[in-house]
């Protein structure tokens, strides 16, 4: 577990509160303190993904980021998606219509392993895994506009309209706020816990609504996180959607809310398919 200094957490609290978002103002609480004990979270609700429609997708997409691009007036009723993919020598980022037809694609350097991406206004930010490189792109052409460098790993990324902030995962149970123009570090959200236990391996993200959704790496599981407390409040079992490609790395990864609806897109690495779903009570 990476620890962050108090002054950073305090700065994060101030920045996020100014933006209408609550973050922790104290150091990491996830280490068990037997004198007081971690506060147990309320049990999350178990949900399942009810499939509304199924759509083809490039079967080679080792999906690391999935986003519904904010609608352009020319889009009509069509849904435009942004996908960023991984693996060294094969990573790319592309836009496509939900029916599978691609619009624009850009490869990244063979030395980089692509990760999550998000649209913030006229820009796209694309993470890479362990290189510390974050690529800024034009949201329409995907042309590279510049790079920023970050400490730690890049996993998932999403953009939150309500606060105007990006949120980034790094494989731990911590989510970090990022400036949408500069990618500057704006501090941490509260540690993500389920029943008081840390939930590590937070990967692809969606933060378009009031709940932050996160894939948990190597599990067929989406968790819904309360950004104010870090508590997992929903769990969605995706195992019934897994197309079983035969590759152990082809795990569930990819969550994108369709704006102004109760529907989401979900996929996985090299699944070759995107599901449009609605989350409903399990059982
Ligand atoms: Ca996403």
pLDDT digits (tens, 9 = 90+) for 2-40: 222 323 343 344 344 334 444 333 333 333 343 444 556
pLDDT of residue 72: 83
Question: Rounded to a whole number, what is the largest CA-CA distance in the chain?
Answer: 60
- 33 C-alpha vs ligand 1 centroid, how far in Å? 34
Beta bridge partners of 51: 277
- Amino acid 100: pLDDT: 87
Q: Could you tell me the two tokens for 39? A: 């506060």
Instruction: Report pLDDT for 76.
Output: 86
Q: 180 CA distance to ligand 1 centroid (A)?
A: 16
- Residue 14: its pLDDT value, please? 37
Distance (angstroms) between ligand 1 centre and the Cα of 277 equals 14
Environment of ion ligand 1 (residues, CB < 5 A): 66-67, 206, 256
Give residue 254's pLDDT: 98
Mean pLDDT for the stretch of residues 34-50: 74
**Quick one: which of 42, 45, 8 has its CA closest to 229?**
42
CA 66 – ligand 1 centroid, Å: 4
CA of 272 from ligand 1 middle (Å) equals 17
Fold of 44-281: Neuraminidase (2.120.10)
The answer to whether the CB of 237 falls within 8 A of the CB of 48 is yes
Kindly report which listed range (9-13, 88-92, 187-191, 203-207) carries the lowest average pLDDT score.
9-13
Distance 207 CA to ligand 1 centre (A): 8
What is the four-CA torsion angle of 153, 158, 161, 166, rounded to 10 degrees? 10
| Average pLDDT of the residues in 103-114 | 97
What is the whole-number distance in angstroms between the Cα of residue 2 and the centre of ligand 1?
A: 24
Cα 89 to middle of ligand 1, angstroms:
23
Residue 240 has pLDDT above 80, yes or no: yes
pLDDT of 145 above 90: yes
């Amino acid at each position: 577990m990476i620890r962050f200094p108090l002054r950073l957490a305090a700065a994060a609290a101030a920045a996020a509160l100014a933006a209408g978002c609550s973050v922790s103002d104290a150091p990491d609480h996830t280490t068990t303190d037997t004198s007081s004990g971690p506060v147990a979270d309320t049990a999350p609700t178990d949900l399942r993904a009810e499939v509304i429609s199924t759509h083809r997708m490039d079967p080679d997409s080792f999906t690391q980021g999935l986003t519904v691009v904010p609608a352009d007036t020319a889009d009509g009723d069509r849904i435009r998606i942004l996908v960023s993919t991984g693996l060294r020598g094969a990573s790319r980022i592309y836009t496509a219509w939900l029916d599978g037809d691609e619009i624009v694609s850009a490869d990244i350097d063979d030395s980089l392993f692509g990760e999550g991406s998000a649209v913030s206004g006229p820009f796209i930010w694309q993470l890479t895994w362990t290189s510390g490189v974050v690529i800024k792109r034009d949201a329409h052409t995907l042309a590279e506009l510049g790079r920023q460098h970050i400490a730690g790993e890049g996993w998932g990324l999403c953009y939150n309209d309500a606060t105007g902030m990006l949120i980034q995962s790094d494989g731990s149970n911590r989510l970090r706020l990022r400036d949408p123009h500069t990618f500057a570090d704006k501090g941490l959200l509260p540690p993500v816990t389920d029943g008081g236990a840390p939930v590590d391996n937070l990967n692809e993200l969606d933060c378009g609504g009031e709940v932050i959704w996160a894939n948990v790496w190597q599990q067929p599981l989406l968790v819904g996180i309360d950004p104010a407390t870090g508590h997992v409040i929903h769990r969605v079992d995706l195992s019934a959607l897994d197309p079983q490609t035969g590759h152990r790395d082809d795990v569930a990864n990819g969550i994108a809310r369709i704006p102004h609806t109760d529907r989401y897109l979900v996929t996985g690495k090299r699944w070759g398919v995107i599901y449009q779903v609605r989350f409903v009570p399990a059982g």
